[in-house]
Structure 1
Amino acid sequence: MGFATEFKEFAVKGNVMDLAVGVIIGAAFGKIVDSVVNDLIMPLVSKVTGGLDFSNYFIPLAGQTSTVLADAKKAGAVFAYGNFITVAINFIILAFIIFLMVKQINKLKRNTPPPVAPPAPTPEDVMLLREIRDSLKK
């Protein structure tokens, strides 16, 4: 078996295709969840905390005097602990949203009855015995 044939078999197997679809859907879903966190939830958190924005909290390591993180990074190294706090809060919110979604999906799965298998066809010998029984009753 040649290398090209072997690769073709690997690439068209169901597992690889399922994985590719999963990665693509996961990336698209990640963008949706990221938008929910950044555009819907974080503004509410900011409102509740009085407009507190952790992303500009940093310690300048190169003697910068700027109060904006982007400008301080241009001037030299910074210890951007506020950005880490923001990312950590985003992760916690994201994990909570995913938890709620998985919980709902599991609840829906439990509420749906399992598919009922169609009854197995009656064996031929049983059918013949029934015919004999019915003819004897007459």
Structure 2
Amino acid sequence: MFKEFKDFIMTGNVIDLAVAVILAGAVSAVVKGFVNLIMMPIIGHFTGGIDFADLKLVLSEAVLGADGVVTKPENAIMYGAWVNTIISLVIVGFVLFLIVKAYNKARKPKAAPAPAGPTKEEQLLMEIRDAIKLQK
């Protein structure tokens, strides 16, 4: 059983999958950083300084006790965080589109040049062949 497990783990597909998962985690961190640290401040600047992560629809306010401690937390729909997620999805989709497009362009085989017409020698041989056929 251990040998079968070792054979399974050591196959190329499992190793490739493990590398892909690790790279996906790294790419995810880079994309989140790009969205949160670069794109969202730019978008916030053009929308009048709004931070989407703070946008929410409060369903019920927080209840404070006499001593100022929250006894019942606020209940809110955090739609701003969802907007951030949608923007992140669009950016990730666009970047992946560019990567796949560049990859496909690099993989595309070079088209072979169209064959030129027959050479003079080939043309002469075809004429001789046709002339012999006519004599028979």
TM-score (norm 1): 0.63
Please list every run of 5 or more consecutive structure 2 residues that lacks an aligned counterpart in the other structure. 64-69, 112-136
The residue number in structure 2 matching 1:36 is 34
Q: Is the 8 A contact 2:31 2:88 kept in 1?
A: no
Q: Could you say which structure has the larger radius of gyration?
A: 2
Find runs of 4+ consecutive structure 1 residues off by over 6 angstroms: none
Higher strand share: 2
User: Which structure 1 residue ranges, 5 or more long, are not aligned?
Assistant: 66-71, 115-138
Structure 2 partner of 1:55: 53
Is 1:97 aligned with 2:102? Answer: no
How many residues get paired? 104
Structure 1 residues 101 and 47: alpha-carbon distance in aligned structure 2, compared to 1, 3 A threshold? farther
**Which residue pairs with 1:46 in the alignment?**
44
Cα drift, residue 113 of structure 1: 4.6
User: Contact 1:37 / 1:94 at 8 angstroms: preserved in 2?
Assistant: no
Aligned-residue RMSD, C-alpha: 2.5
TM-score of the superposed pair, with normalisation by structure 2:
0.63
Output the CA distance in 2 between the equivalents of 1:81 and 1:55: 8
Q: Corresponding residue for 1:79?
A: 77
